Amino acid sequence: MIEAERPSIQSPDQVLIQVKTVGVCGSEVHAFQGTHPFRKAPVILGHEMAGDVVSVGETVADFEPRDRVIVDPQWSCGECAYCRAGDVNLCPSKKVLGTTSWPGAFGEYVVAPEEAVFHLPDNLS
């Protein structure tokens, strides 16, 4: 356990989210055991999450504070051939939530690009 600085919005298309719940995936177990291929310590793990929007960047149009949301744990470049074809999971430049390039949801807050954030329906707790 460490004290980490609260992440902050760094570009106008980002959303700051307070984590309310997070799943423990098998990949977190592998990372904890030191056997995951790219989740290596030190890192804030956690990529299956839901939370509440705290603040939004100036160009974010679909979210506002207090919205309940989930996050796609893939932050793709949006520009490569894979992204343009809709295959964002194959993006060679993507960031994955819960890695050193994108600190995860085992922290209290997460910053995500608007394109990776989705409203949580009211009929789900």
Residue span of the structural domain in which 40 resides: 14-119
Determine, yes or no, domain membership for 7: no
pLDDT digits (tens, 9 = 90+) for 36-90: 887 777 889 999 999 999 999 999 999 999 999 999 999 999 999 999 999 988 9
CA proximity to 49, closest of 115, 112, 114, 122 = 112
In a domain, 31, yes or no: yes
d(CA 71, CA 22): 11
**The domain spanning residue 63 has which CATH number?**
3.90.180.10
Query: Within a domain: residue 2?
Result: no
What pLDDT sits at residue 25? 86
Whether 91 maps to a domain, the answer reads yes
In-domain check, residue 1: no
The answer to whether residue 35 scores a pLDDT higher than 80 is yes
